[in-house]
């Protein structure tokens, strides 16, 4: 995903994140989860696009050849590489099923490793994506304890 020129933020030592397999970080006020899975790092907004579920607590599964996080709340499937929402469609004629895309629903971010440290660069925020709502001030206000 392209960056809008945001600077990279060092979020931790590579070895530490590999050992923990996932961490959450706050970057410029944004809650981000970084996963390490089978040799790759992935970063995305921590709250699920559907209803704000905690993606950092989800399981990772391979679905139709794509590495996905499964939201623990309602089991939505989201690809780690692009934030694409996947669903399983059923053909009513023969009840066969196939995986389909809803398009990009979850905001992902760039991750890179340099000198043993992991860096995240927030993606270009100029085009809205469904998950953005759960990073907004409006949402944060709505969950504030009075």
Figure out which of the listed residues 50, 56, 105, 109 binds ligand FES, where binding follows CB under 6 A.
50
Write the binding mask 71 to 90 for ligand FES: x where contact by CB under 6 A, - elsewhere: x-xx-x--------------
Per CB under 6 A, the list member of 11, 34, 48, 111 interacting with ligand FES is 48
Q: Which is closer to ligand FES, CB of 16 or CB of 82?
A: 82
Q: What residues contact residue 54 under an 8 Å CB cut-off, 6+ apart?
A: 46, 47, 48, 72, 73
* Residue 13 binds ligand FES, judged by CB under 6 A: no
Options 2-10, 51-59, 83-91, 131-139: segment touching ligand FES (CB under 6 A): 51-59
d(CA 68, CA 83): 9
Quick one: which segment of 12-20, 50-58, 120-128, 130-138 binds ligand FES (CB under 6 A)?
A: 50-58
Interface residues toward ligand FES, by CB under 6 A: 48, 50-53, 71, 73-74, 76
């Amino acid at each position: 995903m392209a960056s809008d020129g945001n600077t990279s933020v060092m979020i931790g030592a590579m070895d530490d994140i590999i050992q923990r397999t996932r961490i959450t970080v706050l970057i410029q006020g944004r809650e981000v989860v970084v996963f390490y899975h089978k040799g790759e790092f992935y970063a995305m907004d921590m709250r699920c696009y559907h209803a704000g579920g905690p993606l950092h607590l989800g399981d990772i599964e391979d679905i139709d050849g794509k590495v996905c996080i499964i939201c623990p709340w309602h089991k939505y499937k989201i690809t780690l590489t692009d934030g694409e929402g996947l669903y399983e469609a059923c053909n009513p004629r023969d009840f066969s099923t196939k995986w389909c895309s809803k398009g990009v629903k979850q905001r992902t971010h760039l991750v890179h490793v340099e000198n043993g440290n992991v860096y995240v660069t927030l993606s270009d925020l100029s085009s809205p994506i469904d998950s953005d709502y759960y990073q907004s001030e409006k949402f944060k206000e709505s969950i504030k304890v009075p």
